[in-house]
Amino acid sequence: MRLQGSNILSRKQVDLLKKTRLNFVWFPKDFERIYQQQYRQEAAYEFRYRGMIIFILYLYLSFGIYQVLPKDHVWAWLSYYSWVGVIVLAAWMMSFIKKFTPWFDHYVCLGSALSVAISFILVNSLEGIKNTALLHTAMMYAVIIIYGFVGLRFYTALIAGWGGGLLGLLVSKHLNADIDWTLLNRTYTFSSFLGMSLAYFTDRQHRENFLQNCIIEHSHLELVQQAQQLSKLSQLDALTGLANRRYLDEVLENEWHRAIRYSSPLTIMMIDIDYFKLYNDALGHVQGDECLKRIALLLSTVTAENSDTLVVRYGGEEFLLLFPRTNAEEAQQQAERLIKETHQLAIPHPSSFIAPYVTLSIGVATMIPQADERISEFIISADHALYLAKRKGRNQYQITNNQPTIARAIAE
């Protein structure tokens, strides 16, 4: 029986269950509910095959009994024992109907109990043929099949086996039958304890397999999470937590083709921290790293309003921002805001030639891509705009959008 694992419990809890609860063939409430749900589905599916085998065994045993019974008692016996076949066929057909699957334990348990009760009554109550060896054999087969072959869980099988026997005993008493307890103990009682052992170890084995599959499920989830984490780490810059150039290549490729398909504008900004080498020389690389982190956080915060914006650490002190569906006017507003926010951040820069605090130079490229244009040319245009911004005094932005270059500087 194939049972899928579950991750409702932690791996540690599953290991604890394997050590402490298997002997009781019962799990904690929520976990038991999940196990039973899966068990019923698999047991109902398997009963589609087992039910027919059980019916064939029933026919074979019935034929054997028919051959040895006195002819004048055949119909009396058949009027009772044929109901066992009806019960087996009914349960077998119900196993094919999915809406009955959640009730598999109930209808199979009831059918099994009735089969045992009928066999019990025949053994003790049918005049002229009671205590026939084959009838006892039929009852033993019924008990063993119920415990070991029908697919009931241990406690449900107990209810079916002993409940059916109790029902048969009550009916036999009601009919004033002369019960041979010695023979019953050697047949019904013995087969019941043997069947209980089979049902117990089968149920225990199924539960152990289920817990093992739970561990496998946890291992699978851990591998998936690790793979996702590794994939995420491979796309992030270790220092700033921003996306790296590898991830930029993937996203920019997709956004480029989308912009071509929908004829929408696309903007990128190349950003450089002014005189960052002098900053490192004056304050040290530790402070330099902190400066990069603060600028990275600023860029992420300022652009957070647009969920499509991608902020990338492009290399060293350079950053790249990707703005899908953003035209030149909107790009200009973003550039002005970034420079203004950087001024307000006021990170001291003792070695800058243009301001007492850290400033940015920004090169902006905006265009509606065409099919015959290349992404590399787009990036080169932004890089060229950044070069112009630095050449013209830094602490400013330059925008190019296939029009004459626009230059803007923020006054000190």
What residues are labeled active site?
Answer: 317
List the structure tokens of 193: 């304890």
**Segment (H or E) for 298:** helix 285-302
Compute CA distances 288 → 237, 240, 276, 278, 295, whole Å: 16, 12, 8, 10, 11
Which residue's structure tokens are 């929520």? 30
Q: Are 118 and 80 in contact (CB under 8 A)?
A: yes
Query: Residue 310: phi, psi to the nearest 5?
Result: -115, 125
Query: Buried (b) or exposed (e) across 76-85, using 16+ Cβ within 10 A?
Result: bbeeebeebb
What whole-number distance in Å separates Cα of residue 323 and Cα of residue 332? 12
The 10 Å Cβ neighbour count of residue 375 is: 16
**CA–CA distance, 91 with 54 (Å, rounded to integer):** 11
What would the two tokens of residue 69 be? Answer: 């019974």
The whole-angstrom separation of Cα 335 and Cα 248 is: 20
Q: Are 105 and 154 in contact (CB under 8 A)?
A: no
